[in-house]
Amino acid sequence: MIPDLGTVALRLLDPETAHGLAIAALKHAPLPRAELDDPILATRIAGLDLPNPVGLAAGLDKNAEALHGLSRLGFGFVECGSVTPLPQPGNPKPRLFRLTEDRAIINRMGFNNAGLETFAGHLRARPSATVVGANLGANKDSEDRAADYVTGLRRLTGLADYFTVNISSPNTPGLRALQGRDALDDLLGRVAEARTTAAPVFLKIAPDLTAAEIAMIVEAALAHRVDALIVSNTTLDRPDGLRSSDRTEAGGLSGDPLKARALTALRDAAAVAAGRIPLIGVGGIASGQDAWDRIRAGASAIQIYSALIYEGPSLVGRIKRDLVARLRAEGFSSVSDAVGASR
């Protein structure tokens, strides 16, 4: 993002226009580098050494074009995408809605991106010191969606530090069906066969799952050597009490109204995983308290995105400072020591 004052100004614009301007600012503005992290925040997840556990969720930098700017905002890791093998325009506009009164976003973008070749070109010029993940998706009209994930993994091997198999976006028709056991076994089996390096593979799931469905996905992920689960994506649910005029728009809801559902999904995953696979918490995280709640519930790291629209990039530093204070106050010597402490 850009300095917080600029964030306020961007909220006066159409959401998708504001998004484009934010990407341009991250690409071209001479942003100062964030201060060095307190060593207590250093953590390790799926073989990746992170300076801190606060990551950027996929969706902001769909084409991996703003990594030099993002690398200066203090994230412990940055996830780009979703990227599909072929370029695609996504769904018709308008497709992005700011629910200001609810501190939320609804999007039905539909995996709009410039395709793997453009994405790969940007990754070749990425800042080497930043841990960068590639969030993989499938083309809307693909006849073999599992093959699209394999194509993405093979094309970007050696360019990204980790890969996320995104089967939980609600905006590509039929995509969430890949979360069923038969389809999931086929997909993850083919992804496992395509892996040629030690770069970890994560799986991003939806919050709109029962505890039994989450348990099945955890077991499938373990069976196919998935390295971590990201819990969770946007929700199709519309919780009672939404006030914004755009609350009935179709698409995935993110931000504050997703918080409780995403935390429940994380707790369900943690109960089944029992430490066998790392979890990354995402959804409605907007403060140090929110991040702390996810870590204590079982997340080894967290990701943010929607809250940046309302809080600005200084949110990253505020969350990290809060986590440092909480870790020390409760006698933990590292983030990993606090993971699952409330279970």
pLDDT in the model for residue 178: 87
Residue list, annotated binding site for substrate: 62, 107-111, 166, 171, 233-234
Q: What is the mean pLDDT of residues 28-38?
A: 92
Residue list, annotated binding site for FMN: 58-62, 82, 135, 166, 204, 232, 255, 284, 305-306
Question: For residue 41, what are the contacts with CB-CB under 8 A and spacing of at least 6?
Answer: 51, 52, 53, 76, 320, 323, 324, 327, 335
Q: How far apart are CA 300 and CA 310, in angstroms?
A: 25
Q: How far apart are CA 295 and CA 336, in angstroms?
A: 9
Domains of the chain (ranges, CATH numbers): 4-338 (3.20.20.70)
Average pLDDT score, the chain = 95
Reported as a pLDDT band with limits 50, 70 and 90, residue 3 is very low
Residue whose token pair is 């590509």: 172
Distance of CA 237 to the CA centre of its chain: 19
Residue 50's closest CA among 158, 160, 161, 126? 161
Tens digit of each residue's pLDDT (9 = 90 or more) over 13-28: 999 999 999 999 999 9
Residue 303 host element (H or E):
strand 301-304
Q: What is the mean pLDDT of residues 322-339?
A: 98
Tens digit of each residue's pLDDT (9 = 90 or more) over 137-155: 999 999 999 999 999 999 9
- Note whether 258 and 234 are within 8 A (CB): yes
pLDDT in the model for residue 12: 76
pLDDT in the model for residue 29: 87
Whether 336 is catalytic: no
Q: What is the mean pLDDT of residues 215-225?
A: 97
* pLDDT reading at 136 higher than 50: yes
High-pLDDT (> 90) share of the chain, %: 92
Residue 191's closest CA among 222, 218, 160, 226? 226
* pLDDT reading at 159 higher than 70: yes
pLDDT in the model for residue 101: 97
Q: What is the mean pLDDT of residues 332-340?
A: 98
Residue 323 to residues 12, 209, 343, Cα–Cα distance (Å): 32, 29, 18
Tens digit of each residue's pLDDT (9 = 90 or more) over 89-130: 999 999 999 999 999 999 999 999 999 999 999 999 999 999
Helices (H), 43-174: 67-70, 116-124, 145-156
Burial class (CB in 10 A: 0-12, 13-18, 19+), 152: buried
Reported as a pLDDT band with limits 50, 70 and 90, residue 343 is confident
Q: How far apart are CA 281 and CA 230, in angstroms?
A: 6
High-pLDDT (> 70) share of the chain, %: 98
Task: Spot the catalytic one: 142, 168, 169, 300.
Answer: 169
Q: Angle, nearest 10°, between helix axes 145-156 and 116-124?
A: 20
- Note whether 131 and 161 are within 8 A (CB): yes
Residue 11's closest CA among 97, 135, 133, 111? 97
For residue 45, give the 3-state DSSP assignment.
Answer: strand
Residue 324 host element (H or E):
helix 314-329
Residue list, annotated binding site: 58-62, 82, 107-111, 135, 166, 171, 204, 232-234, 255, 284, 305-306
Q: In this structure, which amino acid lies at residue 220? A: A
Count the residues in the chain. 343
Q: What is the mean pLDDT of residues 33-54?
A: 97
Burial class (CB in 10 A: 0-12, 13-18, 19+), 331: exposed
Tens digit of each residue's pLDDT (9 = 90 or more) over 222-275: 999 999 999 999 999 999 999 999 999 999 999 999 999 999 999 999 999 999
Question: For residue 92, what are the contacts with CB-CB under 8 A and spacing of at least 6?
Answer: none
Q: In this structure, which amino acid lies at residue 95? A: R
**Tokens coding 233:** 């994506």
* pLDDT reading at 5 higher than 60: no
pLDDT in the model for residue 30: 87
Q: How far apart are CA 177 and CA 6, in angstroms?
A: 39
